Amino acid sequence: MRKNNHFQAVFKNAPDLAYQVTAGIEHLKCVPVLLTGLYCLSQTYKGEHIKDDIIESLESFAEMQKVFISQLSENTSLLHDIVDELNDVFAKTEEVE
């Protein structure tokens, strides 16, 4: 029973973390399209005001991506730790048998 409680405690957040990591990876796939769109805008509209707005948007977008990637990295590390813990639990179970 104690092993079962430990097992449940360790893996309680695994589905949520797995979803967050998967959704994060899908989000990152959109980044090149967004950046290409902003680049095309800067090539199409020649006014300095538009270019300044685009540069400001890119800087803001870059800051948001830094935070997002940091969170994704943290979630990926947590998920990796859960997988390691799962391996440990299975190894201990095999030793007992």
Q: Which residue has the tokens 């299975």?
A: 90
Q: What is the pLDDT of residue 73?
A: 92
The domain locations on the chain are 2-89
Helix (H), strand (E), coil (C) string for the chain = CHHHHHHHHHHCCHHHHHHHHHHHHHHHHHHHHHHHHHHHHHHHCCCHHHHHHHHHHHHHHHHHHHHHHHHHHHHHHHHHHHHHHHHHHHHHHHHHC
Q: What is the pLDDT of residue 2?
A: 52
Tokens of 68: 């997002």
List CB contacts of 79: < 8 A, sequence separation 6 or more: 14, 17, 18, 21
- Radius of gyration from C-alpha coordinates of the chain: 22
CA angle 8, 86, 68 (to 5 degrees): 85
Q: What is the pLDDT of residue 24?
A: 87
| pTM for the structure as a whole | 0.62
pLDDT tens, position by position, for the chain (97 residues)?
455 666 676 677 788 888 888 888 888 888 887 777 777 776 777 777 777 887 888 888 888 888 889 999 998 898 888 888 888 877 877 776 6
